[in-house]
Each structure stands twice: as structure tokens, then as C-alpha cells.
């Protein structure tokens, strides 16, 4: 009888543990569109203890390295996506991961897009949150993910000389 009770309770405890492990995670998403209004990618963002992890999958983009940033306004009006504003920078730092004075909170490594136009990246944004703090991606006005035409040099202010904005997605809770 004791064995039967353990066999029945053990799977239930595992199920409850899985539910509890998922309950505390703050999540966000962004559908990424090109200047023609076609969806060219998706991003999922999950807050962890060390910042926000973003998993980005893109397709139908030009091959090569592309600057990829979080921008300060949750608008993506084509064709130039300038409505997304500048890089998300609540700490008023200079641009670039190689900048000795610190980077914008929305700065990230370049994203590689393959010859077939697809790419996947997992990027940690250690200076942002999905909470209610001053560095939250859900501040008034929202935020957006922007992909640029060229690679980011990780130093030149304000945008790393990464060229035109070719794709954009508004970050939203989910």
C-alpha cells in the first residue's frame, strides 16, 4: 500500500514542481516585421537572475552580421522604424559592448544571418528587466527590438555605425 501511494504521489509532486518553476518567470515576446510589413522573425524574452534572456529566430533577412538592439519606444512604423527611438539607455551610458564606460542597456552582440536568410541567437541583456524597475522593458511607451542592416562596431555612439533599421518588433508581455 505504501508503495502504491508513493507511485501515485510522486508524479503529482513532479507536476506541481514544474508548474511552480514556470510560475515565477516573467516573459515577453516580439513578432519582428520588415519594412513591407511581412513577419521575418520572432523573439521570446524570459527574465532570469542575471538579466533578460532573448531567443531570436529570423528568416528572409540579408545574410551577414547585423546590429541588434532594444530600442526605447514600443513602436515599429515602417519603412524606417525610426518610431522605435534610440537604444534603450536608462542609465545614460555610451554605446557599445566594448565601450570602457559601459554600454546602453539595449546593446547586444551582432546577430549572424546565414546565406539562406535565417538566423538564431540567444542573447543575455544583463541591464534590463521585465519588472517595474527603471530598467524595465515595460516602462511607459514600451520598447522594441530592432535589427539593423550592417554589423555593430560595438563602440561608435550612438548606434555602432550599424546602418539602417531593416526589421522591428514591439516587445509585449505574455
- d(CA 70, CA 89) in angstroms, rounded, equals 9
Residue 106 lies in a domain: yes
Residue 3 lies in a domain: no
Residue 4 lies in a domain: no
pLDDT tens for 63-120 read 999 999 999 999 999 999 999 998 888 777 777 667 777 777 777 899 999 999 999 9
**In this structure, what CATH number is given to the domain that contains residue 128?**
2.60.40.200
pLDDT tens for 15-25 read 444 434 444 56
Residue 37 lies in a domain: yes
What's the domain count of the chain?
1
pLDDT surpasses 70 at 159: no
**Domain ranges, residue 126:** 26-173
The DSSP-derived string for 99-165 is -TT---TT----EEE-TTS-EEEEEEETT-BSSSSTTBTTSTT--EEEEESS---SSSTTTTT--SE
Residue 75 lies in a domain: yes
3-state secondary structure of 61: coil
> Would the pTM count as exceeding 0.85?
no
Amino acid at each position: 500500500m505504501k508503495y502504491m501511494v508513493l507511485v501515485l504521489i510522486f508524479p503529482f509532486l513532479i507536476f506541481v514542481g514544474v508548474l511552480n518553476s514556470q510560475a515565477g518567470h516573467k516573459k515577453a515576446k516580439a513578432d519582428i516585421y520588415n519594412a513591407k510589413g511581412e513577419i521575418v522573425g520572432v523573439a521570446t524574452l524570459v527574465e532570469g537572475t542575471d538579466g533578460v534572456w532573448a531567443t531570436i529566430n529570423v528568416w528572409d533577412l540579408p545574410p551577414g552580421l547585423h546590429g541588434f538592439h532594444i530600442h526605447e519606444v514600443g513602436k515599429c512604423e515602417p519603412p524606417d522604424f525610426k518610431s522605435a527611438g534610440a537604444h534603450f539607455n536608462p542609465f545614460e551610458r555610451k554605446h557599445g559592448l566594448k565601450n570602457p564606460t559601459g554600454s546602453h542597456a539595449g546593446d547586444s552582440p551582432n546577430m549572424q544571418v546565414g546565406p539562406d536568410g535565417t538566423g538564431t541567437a540567444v542573447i543575455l541583456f544583463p541591464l534590463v528587466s521585465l519588472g517595474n524597475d527603471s530598467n524595465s522593458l515595460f516602462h511607459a511607451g514600451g520598447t522594441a527590438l530592432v535589427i539593423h542592416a550592417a554589423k555593430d562596431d560595438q563602440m561608435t555612439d550612438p548606434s555602432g555605425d550599424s546602418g539602417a533599421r531593416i526589421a522591428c518588433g514591439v516587445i509585449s508581455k505574455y
